[in-house]
Amino acid sequence: MALSLAFVLERGDSESACESEIGRDFPAEAVVILRRWSGLGDTGTVFSLDKNQNETVLYSFCVQTSCSDGANPVGGLLNINGTLYGTTQFGGLNSGDGTVFAINHKTGAETVVYTFCQTDCSDGDEPAAGLIVVLGTLYGTTEFGGTPGKGTVFAIKKPY
């Protein structure tokens, strides 16, 4: 399945906000969408929507103990060699301060690439936007953490 632009839907939004885009500006077979407040426990899902508006849930967040897989995705998704990369604002292994994740778009398998706030939150706390990739390195931002707690710009080298 070819993938196209990713959208983020907030609570109350409907898929109709992006349905008109499928096959028009983006001729791919499907659009992948993040729903920030949906799924089990209202903690977010990643799903695809095909040209016929058939929805397939690829992943529901916060299904692992203590939401170690992340919760409430933010920003868009990057498709790098068939793997979707994104951020969650909450969840993760430590104090629930967010993750960078990867999802295999064919199997729906999710992997946490990085968990924030590992010790003193100098690495960042609560990613607030999506990712960009430059020369194989993922870059993003956090809203809090760092020194003096006003947020960070982070880089993850070649996670794939």
Query: 25-70: per-residue pLDDT in tens?
Result: 333 555 666 666 566 667 888 888 777 888 888 899 988 888 899 9
The pLDDT of residue 148 is above 50: yes
- Stretch 93-106: mean pLDDT, rounded? 89
Q: Which residue has the higher pLDDT, 143 or 94?
A: 143
- Average pLDDT over the chain reads 78
Q: What CA–CA distances, in Å, run from 142 to 90, 100, 139, 156?
A: 11, 11, 10, 13
Return the bridge partners of 31, or none: 49
Domain locations along the chain: 3-116
Question: What 3-state DSSP class applies to 56?
Answer: strand
The pLDDT of residue 103 is above 70: yes
- Stretch 72-78: mean pLDDT, rounded? 88
The alpha carbon torsion through 128, 108, 93, 40 (nearest 10 deg) reads 80
pTM across the whole model: 0.79
The answer to whether 134 and 80 are in contact (CB under 8 A) is no
The answer, yes or no, to whether the previous bond of 148 is cis (omega within 30 of 0) is: yes
133: exposed, middle or buried (Cβ count in 10 Å: 0-12, 13-18, 19+): middle
In the block, tokens 């710009």 appear at: 153
Q: Give pLDDT, residue 2.
A: 38
